[in-house]
Structure 1
């Protein structure tokens, strides 16, 4: 559930949707690490529907902020979650068992080189995604706006 009381919609891709549901249900015990990379759950507001949309994404840290990459696996179109946050930059993320509200923004030109290095250290495939895409793949800075608090306790009493 989100702050609005509406459960977020997960990806149309079954494997990605299952990752998000497992992560949320286990308070990040399962799903935080994906193929060796740390992930968070990003919830944006759908630009057409106004409803919450949840996506698991690899993340890095930059000062007090979190970084995610709008790679779309190197496709020439931006992912929906990125288009959503451009319209409504107020987002929620779950990092392991912490829920954090944040303001999302594209990294500035001055930040890009440092942020790209941080993220390719986490997931080297971003370089190959960029090489096959006709667009400059955006890096998003997620700046926390509220104190972090624990996610709802998962079913079965585990954290």
Structure 2
């Protein structure tokens, strides 16, 4: 499916078994995602106000969890990106741990450095950027329940 055609309904159907497996296995996934660090992002819909759960790959950097709004290289940002911009105080599930975090988009040299890290750690990210003219955002999720490392 073209990344521009991803609907909320499609994403929900695709994500549901991943979320179920994640929660049933303490944050561990099998198959193609077995080696990919995954967290569950619980955000509040920017327009609907409904709670949304999205599994996503992440990188850990200096006590923050970095997520990439690639939407598989679509020309538009994913819905969860807009949700975080409207409501940046959210919850993530990391393994069996639940953390309150504050979301902030990275900019400038920090964004560039972290995108390079992401492309090296998750090769699909470089491919996603090559599919679109938009600059793919990187969001830092900073825990508010525990001190930075």
State the TM-score bracket (shorter-chain normalisation): 0.7 to 0.9
Instruction: Encode CA deviations 1:24-60: one digit per residue, 9 max, x unaligned.
Output: 23321346x8152111001110111212100000000
Q: Secondary structure at the match of 1:121?
A: helix
Task: Describe the shift of the 1:127–1:14 C-alpha distance in structure 2 as closer, same or farther (beyond 3 A).
Answer: same
User: 1:87: which partner in 2?
Assistant: 86
Quote how far apart the aligned CAs of 1:87 are.
0.3
Distance in 2 (alpha carbons) for counterparts of 1:11 and 1:93 = 22
Task: Give distance in 1, aligned partners of 2:9 and 2:100.
Answer: 18
RMSD: 2.2
Match of 1:99 in 2: 98
Instruction: Name 1:51's counterpart in structure 2.
Output: 50
Residue in structure 1 matched with residue 122 of structure 2 by the alignment: 123
3-state SS in 1 of match to 2:37:
strand
- Tell me the alpha carbon deviations over residues 4-24 of structure 1, each in whole angstroms, 9 at most, x when there is no partner: xxxxx9964423221012212
Given that 1:10 and 1:20 are in contact with CA atoms closer than 8 Å, whether structure 2 keeps it comes out as: no
What's the counterpart of residue 23 of structure 1? 22
After TM superposition, the runs of 4+ consecutive aligned structure 1 residues lying more than 6 A away are: none
Aligned positions, number: 139
Q: Secondary structure at the match of 1:120?
A: helix
Shift of the 29–124 alpha-carbon distance from structure 1 to 2, 3 Å rule, reads closer
**For each residue in 1:76-119, what CA deviation from the matched residue of structure 2 results, as whole angstroms up to 9, or x when unmatched?**
01000011000000111011111111000111212112211221
Q: Counting helix residues as a fraction of each chain, which structure ranks higher? A: 2
Provide the secondary structure at the position in 2 that maps to 1:126: helix
Structure 1 regions of 5+ residues with no counterpart? Answer: 1-8, 149-159
- Aligned residue in 2 for 1:61: 60
What is the TM-score with the length of structure 1 in the denominator?
Answer: 0.79
Structure 2: runs of 5 or more not aligned: 1-7
Per the alignment, residue 112 of structure 2 pairs with 113
Instruction: Tell me the residue number matched to 2:5.
Output: none
The answer to whether the Cα contact below 8 Å between 1:44 and 1:91 also exists between their aligned partners in 2 is: yes
